[in-house]
Chain A
Amino acid sequence: MLTEYKKLLSPNKVHLPLTDSFYKIATAVVKAGEKVLRGQIIAYKENDLVKTPIFSTVSGTVVEFKQMRDRYNKIVDHIIIENDKQNEDVEYKTFDGEVPTSVVISQLTKHGVNILDVDGIYTSLKLDSSINKVFVNIINVNEPFISTDYSYLLEYAKEVADGIKLLGQGKKEVHVILDKYMPAEPKEALIENLGDFDYKLILVNSSKVSGYDYSEIKKIVKEKITNDLHDNGVIYITAETCKVVSDVLRKGHAPFERHILVTGDGVKDNAEFEVTVGTPLYYVVEDLGGYQDIENMNVHVGDYLTGVQLSDDTFSITETVDAVDLSEFHEEPEEICIKCGECNDVCPAGILPQNIMDAELRELNLRIVDLHTDECIECGLCSYVCPSKINVLEWVRRAKRRTN
């Protein structure tokens, strides 16, 4: 389905959101009209616990501060920087050879890589002594609309392997999750680059939708796992994150580009993209030849089970966007819940989505707490299996919001 691998690295303007779903407060350190370099700190975002810098991803002039829609469909403050296309960088501090874990941590924190997240299962990145296992998910998105070839892994096998080594050094158990049926070339490239590094391979069949990562981690950890895997001494990351870790240490900055997929029958062409962080989506769509002539467009950001629906295409691509689906809206009417219990059977966290939905419909707060709703990892499998086409995940999310 995908035809090309494109790079789109010099937008005229970038829109950098100051807050997101995790960081709620931000302080800008630049003013409108000021000239900034690439990699320069332009603001700090913070929540109660952490304060993280935001970097400029282009060199140029700060145009204005403006309230715009971000990729979570919320209106937040953005800094808009006009690109002078000179790519002037600040000076970076780089590291070669072996780097001790403490330095890895301090550098990652300095560059704003605080939370590693794979589909709702996240790890707060404190590589302290309690962490003893690292899981690396290198199954490229293998989903109905988003089927990638493994070109990313082929191109960056060296960086990915380096990132795995940096995070997995010391006495940590490293597990690399791969697809059983992945093509041989990228797999060999990765294994060759990992060399004699001590790791274990987990091979899964990713074409079967079943929440395999959760169950594999559970099998190895041998205890009940929570939403924040840090509590279980586990870091769970993707290939992409490994490259970020490698870049922070070897190049001295987190990558200014994001690797995304733009798919769907709503645009004239589909492609894998390397985009500068902060590029608005319509700029990407223009590059693909514009929209098809259809009436109702559906913009879906993220995973096809867990992603977010957006009401326009002005949002900018940030580090957290991995895929954008632009397709025609196909209405499929919901039917009445027939209480078949398939969502209860499939849930990898072992909670009961149907019962939670029922409790949410009747607004029974105590019952919602009783049903361990907070353990939901929002994988979306319940919506996937539902024969009545009910968006069960949305109901469970609503119930989950009551619990905190």
Chain B
Amino acid sequence: MRGADRQRVLDLVVGRVVEAQARQAGGDGHTLERVIHDTYYHERRRLDAEPRTRATQQTIRRWQERLRALRTAGDAERREVLADAVRDFADEIVGHFDDRVYRLATSAVPVGLSAMLNALSPKLLLRGFPHPPGIGDRVILDGEIEAARRLLDRGTLVLTPTHLSHLDSVVVGYALHELGFPPFTYGAGLNLFTNPFVSFFMHNLGAYRVDRKKKADLYKDTLKEYATATLEFGYHNLFFPGGTRSRSGAVEQHLKLGLLGAGLRAYVNNLREGRTKPNVYVVPCTINYYLVLEAETLIDDHLKEAGKSRYIIDDDESTRPERVLSFLRNLFQLDARIVVHFGAPLDPFGNPVDADGRSLDGRGRPIDVRRYTYVRGVPAHDSQRDVEFTRQLGAALAVELHRRNTVLSTHAVAFAAFEALSRRHPGVDLYRLLRLRASERVLPESDLLATVGRLQGVLTERAAAGALRLGGRVQHDEPQDVVADALRHFGIYHNRAALRREGDRLAADDMNLLLYYHNRLSSYGLEQVIP
């Protein structure tokens, strides 16, 4: 958020949230009071669970002052108390954008990251002399990039990547810079702002704060309205539509629609305000890694009954520098790639759009999507209608993310191995399968090669039909090369290998990890392919 827009956006957000609450209350002051008390209840629970610091005590005092003011408040005062609470939320959320910091970061980060990566791999540094490989050699950018670029001039973009790792933000940020796109604003978890150095960059590069521990509806409304306002002000946004990192490793299927709906709200507001570029475009994007930095913690969390309560993980591999360095070293030593693939852009209703930004129906005919927003002939909000349109957008986006998912050797081999092991133990449920004895977690190499070959055949057919994408090796290499490539990756970074060679057999040392990488292909109905 540039300084010039900051106050205008804040005022807009506070005004709209308070107005919406007042409208819902319908003039009933007690309803507004309930909203305030409900927000206090959630905030107090959150604050009581946190260490008592000066900041938390100050927040509690502010809430107590608000409650005192409510005792004698009339309608106008109630609105003021509500506005005060919303303003506090909005002040915390609002991001800042500083061109100087952006220039510094974009010029320094790729160089610095490349230097660090090359230092980790001297052999690679020498191999590329006098032009050592940079991060650009590690990240493959492809897909509908030009379509997205053209739309930058025609409206505001919402980039919606799949989410596997905390590295995703860095990777996407690099990708956008490399492509010459303007910076995108995005919501980052409050935990990422705890490190002062990282916080400085995040704060000045347009990231806004999202505190997932805040459960009050009023906070969520403020967050959505903030995202909506940034879109209206022309700030391109980045939303992770899964809401959080995929715990299972699967491609996101059930998307969080709350923030996604901000695109439609902004579009309706733009139409109502008669803005010259009202359009909002949703750009699907998939990010795929051979190995995922936090895979062990994420799959563990997925499998635990307590997974939901650990929604905010603050002790995973991404918080341990030695693991991050080990991961990056692996990335370079193995010539591993991160694949960032842009999908076909959609409008806020889930329709595809053409190169000129026009929405198309299922037959490719241009349609006037303004009419979807009409109530008695003029653009207007209708919350029930808009929830349904956003659900349809979510469904279209999920399909596009699946179609644009890039299958790498680690995914294909893990899928084949895990399914083959489950066939060897019929009737065994998932949790018993994960706890097989070491002697039961082995497959003859020849069997796995045959299974991988069969899977490659089906994957090639599916890829030809546009159901998914294949990484180079899975598409072109012989099964033994695909397996060898996957084993090279599995053997380097993780504490225990998902799969390793043991004579003429392959052994799964870590069944959880094998499941995690298998899951990248779990929603394509490929299970029946495995004999």
Pairing of A with B? no
